[in-house]
Structure 1
Amino acid sequence: MIFSLLLSLITLGFLISSLKYSSSQLLYPNKLYIKLKKIASTFTTSYACPSITCLISFYKNRHRLLNWYTELLSQSAKQTIVVHRLGAPRTIVTANPDNVEYILKTNFANLPKGKPFTELLGDFLGLGIFNVDGEMWSIQRKLASHEFCTKSLREFVVKVLEDEVENRLVPILENAAENGSVLDMQEVLRRFAFDTICKVSLGMDPFCLDLSQPPPPLAAAFDSASQISAMRGAAPIFAVWKLKRALNVGLEKDLKDEVKLVHGCVDEMIKTKKEMMGKNNGGEGDLLSRFLEAGLDNEMVRDMVISFLMAGRDTTSAAVTWLFWLLTGHRRIEKQVVDEILAVNNDGGKLGFEDLKEMNFIKACLCESVRLYPPVVWDSKHAAKDDILPDGTPVYRGNRVTYFQYGMGRMEALWGKDRLEFRPDRWLDENGMVKMVSPYKFPVFQAGPRVCLGKEMAFIQMKYVVASVLRRFELEPVRSEQPVFVPLLTAYMAGGFNVRIRRRG
């Protein structure tokens, strides 16, 4: 989940454009394809689709694009489809775990993020860990990996959560319960997540979880910069945004202004942090202090911190929002969650790390929630040279290779006939412990060398919030209809998640 959130919208834009601007077929032969087909004799053209059919189908399915792609992949014997569009790289979309393992692990070196993505995100994310390949990525990965494994960081995260939950989140819910007012839990959790990630990453408090005030300038600039950066990928003609950037007009001018604000804020925080560290002979527990102590230059530290802010600000809040909604429709499962919380923390005291470790059923619920509603629905790489996927699909140099987390969570071949049901018990063994599931079947946290460094931190935060809220309150949705799943930067609910709060018991 800590993977760059922008990739989801960018890939979605590319795939929509692929359908709009498809030529004669979704999969059509050319000389290189014919040559590789002799090698991959098992590959068939069962994915073929005339362009007029694609255009009509796209129009009919434009409001259910994710489910449409899921259906196409389900109908494919190989759980893979191939998409063409004029003037753009051939795109392979797969829900095949063998392919995913090959992409993320077996042939990792041949399938980097690639220049198309690093160019799109470079103005905003710079040379941060989520926007680079090769040696630059390796250096940052080693440093970040060490820091994420430390006990001190884990303890710091729990301390931050305790302060944010007890002093801000719970009072807001108490007030709503007292007054009978309606809260948008999606917005509340989103602001909570921004406060938390800023404290953990920067050691600063943006006071975002003050619903009487608009989001702080840094949060608003982050939103704007990330969305405009992602919109570059949705442009039908790749060169348009580059021309606008050169002329400094339109959205590119707005992006430049927002990036300047974000970079300026973080640069000032780095300066202030260095001064504090000089006076105190060391830093605090936040990531910024740790990166500065490692001796990295200011620009690399800035880009790394911005990447972690981007990755951590909406993923956990999206996952918890969808879980809360699912539990309102499955009260029996919600009771099991509350029973576990009370069994682990029966005195109602502060939640510690050991308490959170024992909450296996809550973790199963979270896994099941993100299986059905993954915060990031796509992830793409770009082939450095010609290749062939395990299912026989040829890959040409420069092709975009996308694995589709949303569709994978809905494959009958992977999860059975009850794949669309919310069943947390599918994640538990006979002893009530969480099962080990292949990350290539469930790649929500990626896998292989780029596996999510913040996976355990994310579970700590999500468990803490779920346990803290549900042991005290019950949520009652204002709307009875199923919310619309919108896969932009993160998979949020259209219109928010409006609820009334009742004290439990």
Structure 2
Amino acid sequence: MAFFGLFEASISLFCFLIFYYFLIKKHSGYIKKTLFQSYPWDWPVLGMLPALVMWFNRMEDAIWILEKSNLTFLFKGPWFTRMDLLFTVDPANIHHILSSNFSNYIKGPEMREIFDVYGDAIFNSDGELWKNLRMSSQVMLNHQGFQNYTMSITTSKLKDVFLPLFSRFSEEGTVVDLQDVFRRLMFDITLVAVTGSDPQSLSIEMPDVEFVKSFVDAGDSVAYRHVIPRFLWKLQNRMGLGQEKKRIEAGATFDRICAKFIFAKRQEIRSQGIDHDHGHSNGECEDFLTYFIKLDTGKYKLLKPNDDKFLRDTIVSFIVAGRDTTSTALTWFFGLLSENPNVEAKIRHEINTNLPKTTTSTQERPWSATDHTEFLNKLVYLHAALYEAMRLYPPIPFERKSPIKSDVLPSGHKISANSNIIIPIYALGRMKSVWGEDAWEFKPERWISETGGLRHEPSSKFLAFHSGPRTCSGKHLAMTTMKTIVVEILQNYDIKLVKGHKIEPKPRLSLHMKHGLRVTLTKRFTA
């Protein structure tokens, strides 16, 4: 039986490679014009895999198919590969999966295997382990002391590094890749908040950072595992080839660098003479690693603060959550502003209107944390514009789920146990049947109510911060961080997109820009 399974898998692989080379590689223009702008063909042996390969870099085709399929589409994978997938952007289905029937829909063992480079991270855990990780994380994320600590890190990094760097770039007329800058900024901020250590990746030298590269390689390998048969990436993993080689090297880098952070932090805690379980509930000026090392295991029985692997997985997962999502959202926000100067003008007007009259710049403010929060809360249009950017370009472009038991979705589709469901969040934000005929337009006004406040949209429509019990615990902190960064930039600089620079998405684990965001900066002078 094992022999026949391997034989069938080999035949599938051989046919796919022949198809890919001769049809897609050699005749990609014809393929795009004929085969994939209509309903995907279910090929013998290959199923619809050729369409999925094309969709991976042409998401507009997938969006068209979903609209034509009444928001839910069954993808047939190659024979013998267990790659059948149900794609849905139906808000009723999404609410059913992520909220009302939450307990039946888990990440599942297959996803944990695909994401294994991250270990037992909160975003790929299920059951009691996930509950323990979420509850313990919420204590820190919702604690005012930690929020103040994180904002102190952010404002210091902006004042001491970010703005001086921008000043130099503007004086020298340097072309800047904002995507790279935001990723470095958020990596530095996140690593300080998580470990207390500043990697200083954002500097005039813009140094290559091994730890950063490992996150890029890990993310690419995870995306790769989603679009090729399992047996193939398993084979590559065993042989140490291609993306799997990069994944193995990334995992080793995670292990080595996190071990240094953990060792140094344990030494620091011992030198301070702090009892292992003392002070954990306070969260005052503590980084995440300190908090988890001193965690009270009586409250969270499945967490293991004495286990270095648990701490390693915690460090990695929070860096992924803090760095990639926020930097990606900021990049697309400024990319959209460059194409919509009217929106930028409205945001600047809102900032200036609500800025205390005694200051001409947010850098001059002698504000308390409360004053700063009150100021940011008044920036309703900015909040709406950030939401709108994340609606069109969600930092995490898809969500994956698997049912424990068979089920029937509100759309009428029957779901078998252990099958795979994909919610393409990027496509969801562009569904005209969900958001209206102007779904593809960047229109912050759709988030403003008749009374001038923020309009509520169900999270089953707007999934940038997920939905249901897994709704992002750091949502408030992320929005506060982004607003703070945007205000500082717009108050001090004009940003202009380099002529001819093409903005387009690169669909991976996070929705990065394929060519970065190349801009020039001009210093603003206030009277």
Q: TM-score, normalised by structure 2?
A: 0.82
Equivalent position to 1:106, from 100, 114, 118: 100
The residue aligned with 2:152 is 159
The offset of 1:248, in angstroms, is 4.9
Query: How far apart are 1:355 and its partner, in Å?
Result: 2.2
Corresponding residue of 1:242: 234
Determine which of 411, 423, 428 is the counterpart of 1:391.
Answer: 411
Structure 1 distance, partners of 2:119, 2:209, is 23
Q: Does the CA-based 8 Å contact 1:158-1:353 persist in structure 2?
A: no
Match for residue 370 of structure 1? 390
SS in 2 for 1:403: strand
**AA aligned opposite 2:94:** V
Q: Counterpart of 2:226 in 1: which secondary structure?
A: helix
- Contact 1:121–1:230 at 8 Å: present in 2 too? no
8 Å Cα contact 1:380/1:400 also seen in 2: yes
Tell me the CA shift for residue 242 of structure 1.
2.9
List per-residue Cα deviations over 1:212-234 (Å, max 9, x = no partner). 14222211222223323442333
**Aligned residue-pair number:** 459
Partner of 1:197: 190
Looking at structure 2, the residues matched to 115 and 56 of structure 1 have their Cα atoms a distance apart, in angstroms, of 22
SS of 2:86's partner is: strand
Shift of 1:174: 0.7
Question: Is the partner of 1:381 in helix, strand or coil?
Answer: strand
Aligned counterpart for 2:313 among listed residues 303, 309, 321: 303
Could you tell me which of 107, 119, 125 is aligned with 1:132? 125
- Residue 287 of structure 1 is matched in structure 2 by 288
Counterpart of 2:325 in structure 1 is: 315
Determine which of 432, 440, 445 is the counterpart of 1:420: 440
Alignment-derived partner of residue 97 in structure 1: 91
Letter in 1 for 2:490: L
Counterpart contact for 1:409–1:415, Cα < 8 Å: yes
Name the residue aligned to 1:206: 199
Instruction: Pick which of 58-67 and 432-441 moved more.
Output: 58-67
2:349 aligned partner, one-letter code: D
Say if 2:374 is the partner of 1:354. yes
Match of residue 329, structure 1, among 339, 347, 352: 339
Moved more, 339-348 or 410-419: 339-348
Work out whether residues 459 and 466 of structure 2, in 8 Å CA contact, stay in contact via their aligned partners in 1.
Answer: yes
* Cα distance in 2, alignment partners of residues 309 and 301 from structure 1: 12
1:81 equivalent among 73, 93, 96: 73
What is the CA deviation profile of residues 230-278 of structure 1, one whole-angstrom value per residue up to 9, with x for unaligned ones?
A: 4233333x12333444455655444333312211211221121122122
Q: Which AA in structure 2 matches 1:260?
A: A
The answer on 1:403 being equivalent to 2:423 is: yes
* Alpha-carbon distance between aligned partners in 1 of 2:493 and 2:171, rounded to the nearest angstrom: 12
Q: Could you tell me whether the CA contact under 8 Å between 1:89 and 1:398 is conserved in 2?
A: no
Spell out, residue by residue over 1:448-471, the C-alpha distance to the aligned partner (whole angstroms, 9 max, x if none).
111111111111111111101001
For 1:228 and 1:63, how far apart are their aligned partners in 2?
Answer: 14
**Aligned-pair CA distance for 1:48:** 7.5
The aligned residue for residue 109 of structure 2 is: 115
Larger RCO (alpha carbons 8 Å, 6+ apart): 1
2:249 is aligned, of 257, 270, 284, to 257
Post-superposition Cα deviations, 1:379-409, rounded to whole Å, max 9, x if no partner, equal 1111222111011011011211111211111
**Unmatched tracts of structure 2, length 5 or more:** 1-15, 21-37, 280-284, 297-304
Change (3 A) 1:60 1:163: closer
> Could you tell me the percent identity over the aligned residues?
28
Alignment deviations for residues 292-313 of structure 1 (CA, whole Å, 9 cap, x no partner): 1214233222212211111221
Letter in 2 for 1:314: D
Tell me how far 1:57 sits from its aligned partner: 8.7
Q: 1:255 to 1:70 in 2, by over 3 A?
A: closer
2-side partners of 1:479 and 1:339: how far apart?
A: 26
Q: 1:250 to 1:268 in 2, by over 3 A?
A: same
Mapped to 2, the partners of 1:414 and 1:268 lie a distance apart of: 48
Separation in structure 1 between the aligned mates of residue 113 and residue 466 of structure 2, nearest angstrom: 22
Residue 356 of structure 1 and its aligned partner are, at CA, apart by: 2.0
Deviation at 1:62, TM superposition (A): 4.9
Query: Would the aligned equivalents of 2:397 and 2:509 in 1 still touch at CA under 8 Å?
Result: no
**Alpha-carbon separation, structure 1, partners of 2:160 and 2:252:** 33
Structure-2 separation of matches of 1:274 and 1:162: 28
Q: Larger deviation: 264-273 or 365-374?
A: 264-273
What CA deviation, in whole Å up to 9, does each residue of 1:293-334 have, x standing for no partner?
214233222212211111221211111111112112221211
Secondary structure of the equivalent of 1:501?
A: strand
**Which of 24, 42, 67 is the aligned partner of 1:51?**
42
SS at match of 1:445: coil
CA spacing shift, 1:488–1:230, aligned 2, 3 Å: closer
Q: Quick one: which amino acid aligns to residue 409 of structure 1?
A: G
Alpha-carbon shift at residue 119 of structure 1 (Å): 1.0
Q: How does 1:473-484 map to 2 (within 5 A)?
A: 473-480=493-500, 482-484=502-504
- Which residue is 1:274 aligned to? 266
Q: CA deviation at 1:64?
A: 5.7
Report the secondary structure of 1:205's partner residue: coil
Structure 1 residues 355 and 279: alpha-carbon distance in aligned structure 2, compared to 1, 3 A threshold: farther
347-356 or 380-389, larger mean C-alpha shift: 347-356
**Equivalent residue for 2:5?**
none
Given candidates 464, 472, 475, the residue that maps to 1:452 is 472
> Structure 2 vs 1, CA of residues 131 and 56 (structure 1 numbering), >3 Å: closer, same or farther?
closer
RMSD: 2.5
Output the TM-score relative to the length of structure 1. 0.85
Residue 288 of structure 1, CA deviation: 1.1
Residue 90 of structure 1, CA deviation: 2.4
Question: CA 1:83 to 1:205, structure 2 compared with 1: closer, same or farther past 3 Å?
Answer: same
Letter in 2 for 1:425: E
